């Protein structure tokens, strides 16, 4: 018995004692004045109790009406919904969560919301989540595993699952957290954790193919961070493609995955230039172009460069960047679908990563190799050596 409900009704004389489910004892104290607004409890947002009373049914019936439609007579349901609407009733997510542990919240972890690469991932995740009635909590680790852990720590207890859009944490930490909530990783393969990744090997292969067709040989790969899983995949793919396509590939790095990293790569490249380079990502490619351009090297006349990711800025720089477009929105959406499946019970954890296709976007930073290929160690014409 909910004492709290009865008492207030009784304590408020002007409310009269509408048979609020009062016991016989209560019933004896005959009401003397009619009530206008029979509001049950303290003022505030209406609850199922308010709706129940107004509709003349039990609270549990109201609850069922919203949580298990179908388990209640359609007419009663209709009436209840009507009353609820009139009262402006909205089910309280916290109360529901308390008894069901179902919060309709998902966490999305990204290392840096400022990094263009994540925009579309975020959009894809949000869209797919919204479609399933889920809201997403964005956890921005700011490239710090401490921040990431803290933020995740805070979000963990309220979310039903986690999408790891590139994490800065160790595999061990990740697995630790995966024990507490369903999780799926994007762009990173962690043993035991389901993941979805872009087709890295095909991406670099297409880039190399494109460059090869233009007559470039050899090609320089401006490598990403040592710890980067994606970099490992791309380099591996590049070596394989190199064999198949019969165009040599040199590796130069590791480099920070930023414009600054690209500048650093350009400086190194100037010491032993090639007619084409493939950047670890667009930022690196952009930094490369900027620097070599400032040194009098023309793109793509002297050197062709292709980036990776196809971020927003790729089409803004001069010349517009030829790059491998990763389907980031699809990546995010796929991750959420997988996650939701896990949440719904079917726990297909582990297994090989889901691979989504990529494609090469040809713009103006690539062109035919210069007529005469530079001798090894010799800068292409026009390049001031260092």
Residues in contact with a second copy by the rule CB under 8 A: 90, 92-95, 97-98, 101, 103-105, 113-114, 116, 119-120, 122-123, 126, 130, 133, 135-138, 140, 142, 147, 150-151, 154-155, 157-158, 259, 286, 290, 312-313, 316-318
Q: Looking at beta carbons only, is 185 or 285 nearer to a second copy?
A: 285
Query: Are 187 and 335 in contact, with CB atoms under 8 Å apart?
Result: no
Is 133 a residue that touches DNA (CB under 7 A)? no
Q: How far is the CB of 95 from a second copy (least distance, A)?
A: 6
343 and 160 Cβ atoms separated by less than 8 Å: yes
Q: Confirm or reject binding of residue 344 to DNA (CB under 7 A).
A: no
> Environment class of residue 138 by beta-carbon count within 10 Å: exposed (0-12), middle (13-18) or buried (19+)?
middle
43 forms part of the interface with DNA (CB under 7 A): no
Annotate 208-237 with b (16+ C-beta within 10 A) or e (fewer).
bbbbbebbbbbbbbbbbbeebbbbebbbeb
Q: Which stretch binds DNA (CB under 7 A): 39-47, 160-168, 277-285, 373-381?
A: 39-47
CB of 78 to DNA, least distance (A): 10
76 binds, among a second copy, DNA, none (CB under 5 to 8 A by kind): DNA
| Site membership for DNA, residue 77 (CB under 7 A) | yes
Backbone φ and ψ for 199, nearest 5 degrees, come out as -80, 80
Q: What residues contact residue 264 under an 8 Å CB cut-off, 6+ apart?
A: 255, 256, 287
121 half-sphere exposure, CB direction, 13 A CA radius: 31
If the CB atoms of residues 69 and 382 are measured against DNA, the closer one turns out to be: 69
Tokens 């023309």 correspond to 298
- 3-class SS of residue 177: helix
For the CB of residue 84, give the shortest distance to DNA in the complex, in Å.
Answer: 9
Least separation in angstroms between residue 98's CB and a second copy is: 5
> Shortest gap between Cβ of 55 and DNA (angstroms)?
9
67 Cβ neighbours under 8 A, 6+ residues apart? 91, 96
Q: Which of 15, 17, 53, 57 binds DNA (CB under 7 A)?
A: 57
Among 15, 64, 255, 280, contact with DNA (rule: CB under 7 A): 64
Options 29, 33, 60, 350; binder of DNA; rule CB under 7 A: 60
How far is residue 357's CA from residue 353's CA, in Å, rounded to a whole number? 13
For residues 350 and 28, give the distance between their C-alpha atoms in angstroms, rounded to a whole number: 66
Contact (CB, 8 A) for 266 and 287: yes
H-helix or E-strand containing 185? strand 183-186
Q: Between 143 and 226, whose beta carbon lies closer to a second copy?
A: 143
Among a second copy, DNA, none, what does residue 42 contact (CB within 5–8 Å per kind)? DNA
Report d(CA 371, CA 145) in Å as an integer. Answer: 49
Q: 150 or 362: whose CB is closer to a second copy?
A: 150
CB of 3 to DNA, least distance (A): 3
- Token digits of residue 252: 């130069």
| Residue 66 sits in the site that holds DNA (CB under 7 A) | yes
- Contact positions vs DNA (CB under 7 A): 1-5, 7, 21, 41-42, 44-45, 47-49, 56-61, 63-64, 66-68, 71-73, 75-77, 89-92, 95-96, 98-100
């Amino acid at each position: 018995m909910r004492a709290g409900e009865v008492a207030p009704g009784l304590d408020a004389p002007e409310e009269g004692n509408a048979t609020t489910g009062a016991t016989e004892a209560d019933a004896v104290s005959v009401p003397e004045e009619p009530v206008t607004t029979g509001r049950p409890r303290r003022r505030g947002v209406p609850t199922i109790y308010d709706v129940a009373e107004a509709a003349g049914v039990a609270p549990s019936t109201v609850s069922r009406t919203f949580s298990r439609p179908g388990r209640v007579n359609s007419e009663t349901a209709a009436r209840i919904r009507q009353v609820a609407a009139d009262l402006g009733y909205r089910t309280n997510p916290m109360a529901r969560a308390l008894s069901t542990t179902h919060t309709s919240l998902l966490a999305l972890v990204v290392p840096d919301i400022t990094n263009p690469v994540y925009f579309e991932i975020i959009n894809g995740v949000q869209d797919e989540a919204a479609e399933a009635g889920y809201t997403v909590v964005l956890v921005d680790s700011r490239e710090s595993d401490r921040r990431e852990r803290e933020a995740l720590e805070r979000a963990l207890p309220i979310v039903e699952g986690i999408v790891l859009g590139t994490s800065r944490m160790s595999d061990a930490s990740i697995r630790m957290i995966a024990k507490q909530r369903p999780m799926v990783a994007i762009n990173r393969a962690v043993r035991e954790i389901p993941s979805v990744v872009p087709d890295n090997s095909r991406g670099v292969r297409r880039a190399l193919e494109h460059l090869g067709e233009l007559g470039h040989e050899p090609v320089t790969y401006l490598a990403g961070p040592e710890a980067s899983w994606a970099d490992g995949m791309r380099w591996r793919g590049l070596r394989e493609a190199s064999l198949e396509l019969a165009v040599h590939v040199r590796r130069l790095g590791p480099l920070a995955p930023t414009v600054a990293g690209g500048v650093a790569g350009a400086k190194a490249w100037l010491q032993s230039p090639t007619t084409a380079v493939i950047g670890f990502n667009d930022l690196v490619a952009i930094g490369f172009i900027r620097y070599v351009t400032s040194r009098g090297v023309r793109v793509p006349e002297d050197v062709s460069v292709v980036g990776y990711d196809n971020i927003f800025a790729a089409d803004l720089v001069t010349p517009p960047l030829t790059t491998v477009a990763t389907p980031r929105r699809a990546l995010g959406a796929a991750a959420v679908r997988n996650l939701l499946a896990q949440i719904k019970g079917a726990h297909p954890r582990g297994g090989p990563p889901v691979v989504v296709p990529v494609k090469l976007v040809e713009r103006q930073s690539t062109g035919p190799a210069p007529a005469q290929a530079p001798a090894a160690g010799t800068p292409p014409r026009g390049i001031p050596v260092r």
